[in-house]
């Protein structure tokens, strides 16, 4: 059997998904989606302010080039760190990574 990882989400009642051969690929996709949802790609300063980071508190990494250098364990932690900021939103945005297998 072959493992696959699915990035599954919902936004304003619409489901979306992507399937990946590696967990790292699914995590990179999911973190990128969260970063887009939070507005970090458009206006990082405003997005970080909405996430209520203090001046002395560093936000989690949101540089996709830097994330590509991270290993799976670092990305799993980063996914959780950013996902926390999506828990209380008005658009019904939710994301998850699900491991599955190709059945023969």
Residue 4 has pLDDT above 90, yes or no: yes
Question: What pLDDT shows up at residue 59?
Answer: 86
Residue 27 near residue 79, CB atoms below 8 Å: yes
Residue 78 near residue 30, CB atoms below 8 Å: no
Residue 29 near residue 50, CB atoms below 8 Å: no
Say which residues have a Cβ less than 8 Å from residue 40's Cβ, sequence separation at least 6.
47, 48, 62
Segment 33-88, tens digit of pLDDT: 999 999 998 888 888 888 777 666 788 999 999 999 999 999 999 999 999 989 88
Question: What pLDDT shows up at residue 47?
Answer: 83
Question: What pLDDT shows up at residue 55?
Answer: 64
Domain residue limits, the chain: 2-98
Rg (the chain; Cα; Å): 14
Question: What pLDDT shows up at residue 22?
Answer: 96
Residue 84 near residue 59, CB atoms below 8 Å: no
């Amino acid at each position: 059997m072959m493992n696959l990882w699915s990035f599954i989400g919902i936004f304003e009642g619409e489901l979306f998904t992507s399937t990946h051969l590696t967990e790292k690929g699914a995590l990179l996709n999911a973190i990128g989606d969260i970063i887009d949802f939070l507005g970090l790609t458009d206006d990082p300063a405003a997005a970080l302010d909405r996430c209520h980071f203090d001046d002395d508190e560093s936000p989690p990494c949101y540089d996709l080039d830097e994330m590509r250098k991270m290993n799976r364990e670092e990305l799993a932690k980063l996914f959780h760190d950013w996902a926390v900021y999506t828990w209380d939103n008005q658009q019904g945005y939710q994301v998850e990574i699900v491991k599955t297998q190709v059945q023969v």
